[in-house]
Amino acid sequence: MLRPVPSALDGDGDGTMQPQQNEQLVVALRQTARELAGRRSIRDLEETLRQIVVSAVQTVPGVDAGSISMTQDGRVETRHPTSAEIGKLDQVQSELHEGPCIDAIEEPPPSGLVVAHDFAGADAERWPRFAPRAVEAGFRALMSTQLSADGRMRAALNLYSATPDAFDDDARTMAGLFGVQASLLLYGSSTATNLQRAVDSRDLIGQAKGILMERFKVDDDAAFQMLVRSSQETNMKLTAVAQWLATSVATGQGTGDAQGL
């Protein structure tokens, strides 16, 4: 797994990245992208999320732990935390509705990056309820980067550090660029997943129509209308009706029941 080369990321002390550092940053991001894309199929959303966290923690300087927060049914839930403690801290942010990850998801700045430099310092006033919980857990700094390429999926990459002021300009730049890269991977994974679901639904409905066409000697359009009518009368989704029919026939339980379609 990729790890940053310290000499290439240390800088010259004035916050300015030198040409060699810029090149190293590009190399690091490209290698991380190859690792993320090559692990498993991009359709595997959860594996993509896990690899984003692992690669970010091992790539961005100063980071000790990480996770991804995503909105689910109106709540912010944590995904693939690198430790149980991080999962608990993400949950605290969700329950309090306060913290860098909440800001990055709901009200991100133009850069998409929200940084807490020291929860025991000035940031204690910015997040008065969450900050003491983070310090109690042993973490003093946190960067949350918005992960969103299309506005539909709301998520943030959370990078924790036990050291105050751990994230210098280079680390913040790398986290921001990593967030952009991860957003595109996440978008690709989500899009591929949705496309696969659409293909699976089409195939399932086609299978159900074939069953009806053979059993009732009707054409394609009539079979589809039978499915639609059954969906409306049972208040079930069309794909659920198709799944029921296909499963019933496959298990030998649908001979009598199918007559009700």
pLDDT at 252: 73
Is residue 79 within 8 Å of 49, Cβ to Cβ?
A: yes
pLDDT at 13: 46
Question: Directed axis angle between helix 238-250 and helix 220-234, to 10°?
Answer: 110
Query: Distance (Å, rounded) from C-alpha 244 to C-alpha 230?
Result: 11
Determine the pLDDT at residue 134.
98
Among 103, 107, 106, 146, residue whose Cα is nearest residue 126: 103
Backbone angle region of 120, left / alpha / beta, with phi > 0 → left and psi within -120 to 50 → alpha: alpha
* pLDDT of the residue at 30: 65
Please report the pLDDT score of residue 83 as a whole number: 96
What SS3 string covers the chain? CCCCCHHHHCCCCCCCCCHHHHHHHHHHHHHHHHHHHHHCCCCCHHHHHHHHHHHHHHHCCCCCEEEEEEEECCEEEEECCCCHHHHHHHHHHHHHCCCHHHHHHHCCCCCCEEEECCCCCCHHHHCCCCHHHHHHCCCCEEEEEEECCCCCCCEEEEEEECCCCCCCHHHHHHHHHHHHHHHHHHHHHHHHHHHHHHHHHHHHHHHHHHHHHHHHCCCHHHHHHHHHHHHHHHCCCHHHHHHHHHHHHHCCCHHHHHHHC
Instruction: Enter the tokens of residue 142.
Output: 């946190």
113 touches 147 (CB < 8 A) = no
Closest CA to 201 of 247, 241, 236, 255: 241
pTM for the full predicted model: 0.65
Successive 10-residue mean pLDDT values, the chain, 261 residues: 38 50 61 58 68 86 94 81 96 95 92 95 96 98 84 83 94 85 70 68 85 88 86 86 85 56 50
pLDDT of residue 5: 36
The domains found in the chain, sorted by start residue, are 6-194 (3.30.450.40), 195-260 (1.10.10.10)
Q: What pLDDT is recorded for position 135?
A: 98
- Cα–Cα distance measured from residue 117 to residue 172, given in angstroms and rounded to the nearest whole number: 11
**114 in the Ramachandran plot: left (φ > 0), alpha (ψ -120 to 50) or beta?**
beta
